[in-house]
Amino acid sequence: MTSLNIRAALTGARKLVIKVGTRLLCGSKGDLNLKRMKGLVEDVAGLWKEGRDVVLVSSGAIGAGVGRLGLLGKPRTLPEKQAAAAVGQGILMQNYESFFAPFGITVAQVLLTRDDIKNRGRYLNARHTLYSLLRYRALPIVNENDTVAVEEIRFGDNDTLAALVSCLIDADLLVLLTDQDGLYSADPHENRDAELIPEVWEITPEIEAVAGGRGSHLATGGMETKLQAARITMQAGIPMVIAGGMQRGNLAAILQGKRVGTLFVPCEETMKARKRWIAFGSPVEGKIRIDHGALEAILKKGKSLLPGGVTGVVGFFEAGNVVSLVDPCGREIARGISNYSSDEVKLIMGKKSTEIKMILGYHDYDEVVHRDNLTIIANGSTLKAGRLKGYAGK
Ligand code: GLU
């Protein structure tokens, strides 16, 4: 796999998480840089209009609160930070709301704590909520719930939060926008020979060494927390780019496959690990029988399994379990994570997705098995299906 291949593969990213840091949004006194915010919104709206799903992770609540309260600097104690965040979060959202509105984009505030990701029930709940928002074509704007998060349940920085949100929604790409153009071989402020590192294939001690140092006095992270985020995304098989957010157009350039910023390349093995887990790592709890139409849609077009294509259910399984998909002759053709329990699938099989709500009284997903959660089994080997096809099989 070459650098060019991997960059080109980013053009196919459908689900994006974009994180914007305090240093981009706030001046040194905490005043919001509205011009930059507006430009960022225009860039994000451009990607959204191409049909991509975007989740924005935005810092700046504490900074904006500091500005509005007229404080001299970032508060030291947690309750003071929480108070500043409570003031600033509203200001942040108010501005996002008014900047996104002219593009016809509805924004949604999502505030998370670490507990929401750690606890399985709440993890699923947060995931469902974000998925529902994306289905409505709303644009979730995520931040840490600074006002309630005490030390033990804090993410502490939004780089880590953004990486975990990327895992939560199974993103195709995470972009961290910051005041530097990417990761440099040395501190570019101090060393004129510092060079931008275009791709990182592995986080080595050398990479750790060049990422030392912290952020500005209002911001939390620095390159260190960005590396921490990269460790999470590389492990999860999600590409991550650190890029400059001071100037316009970088987001579009990254999605056009241009060599902008520093790309942290997930190794091919981890990309496939999740699919492998679905195929072989998890017990198969039941079977779903599908018709010829669904068989063709899944095998030839890489589509999801909809209720209309289901003809039968064998065994007992819960939503979230791995099930086997069998063709009309009873042969296993794929495995995937079912969005509905066996009882629910029995009720909705053969029906249209639009009828799910009427039948079940709720409608969490259109698909019984989403294509991102589907691994095709053929002659005992796994074939690629789903996202970022450009990576597979290189
Ligand atoms: N959640 C914090 C805020 O909105 C930012 C944390 C960070 O900068 O990483 O102010």
Ligand 1 atom, smallest distance to 22 CA:
8
Is position 224 annotated in a ligand binding site? yes
Mean pLDDT of 224-229: 92
Q: Is 160 annotated as a binding residue?
A: no
CA angle in degrees (0–180, nearest 5) for 69-72-75: 80
How do the domains of the chain map onto residue ranges? 3-267+386-392, 276-376
For residue range 199-211, list pLDDT tens digits in order: 999 998 888 888 8
pTM over 0.85: no
Residues contacting residue 170 through CB under 8 Å, at least 6 positions apart? 15, 372, 387
Does 172 count as an annotated binding residue?
no
Instruction: Please state, as a whole number, how many other Cβ atoms lie within 10 Å of the Cβ of residue 121.
Output: 8
CA of 57 to the centre of ligand 1 (A): 10
60 lines ligand 1 (CB under 6 A): yes
pLDDT tens for 3-43 read 667 898 899 899 999 999 998 999 888 889 999 999 999 99
The CATH architecture annotation of domain 276-376 reads Roll (2.30)
Q: Rounded to the nearest whole angstrom, what is the distance from the C-alpha of residue 22 to the centroid of ligand 1?
A: 7
- Output the CA 62–ligand 1 centroid distance in Å: 6
158 lines ligand 1 (CB under 6 A): yes
CA of 126 to the centre of ligand 1 (A): 19
Confidence of residue 74 (pLDDT cuts 50, 70, 90): confident
**Percent of residues in the chain assigned helix, strand, coil, to nearest 5:** 45, 20, 35
What is the topology classification, in CATH, of domain 3-267+386-392? Carbamate kinase (3.40.1160)
**340 pLDDT exceeds 70?**
yes
Distance of CA 127 to the CA centre of its chain: 10
Ligand 1 closest atom vs CA 157: 9
Nearest residue by C-alpha to atom 2 in ligand 1: 59
